[in-house]
Amino acid sequence: MLGASCRSAKVGTAKEDFSNFYQQFLTDSSFQMQRVQFPLPGQKITAEVQDTAYQWAEDDWIMLKEFELDPTQFERNLQVTDTLATDEIYTPGAGFYFKMVFEPIKRKWYLVYLVDQGL
Say if 1 falls within a structural domain. Answer: no
The domain that holds 105 is classified in CATH as 3.10.450.410
What Å distances lie between residue 41 and 29, 47, 81, 110, CA to CA? Answer: 20, 20, 21, 13
Number of domains in the chain: 1
* DSSP assignments along 64-93, one per residue: -------TTT-EEEEEE-SS-EEEEEE-TT
- What is the pTM assigned to this prediction? 0.86
Say if 93 falls within a structural domain. Answer: yes
Q: What is the pLDDT of residue 86?
A: 98
Domain that holds residue 108: 12-58+72-118
pLDDT band at 46 (very low <50, low <70, confident <90, very high): confident
- Whether the CB-CB separation of 56 and 39 falls below 8 Å is answered with yes
Instruction: Tell me what the mean pLDDT of segment 56-74 comes to.
Output: 91
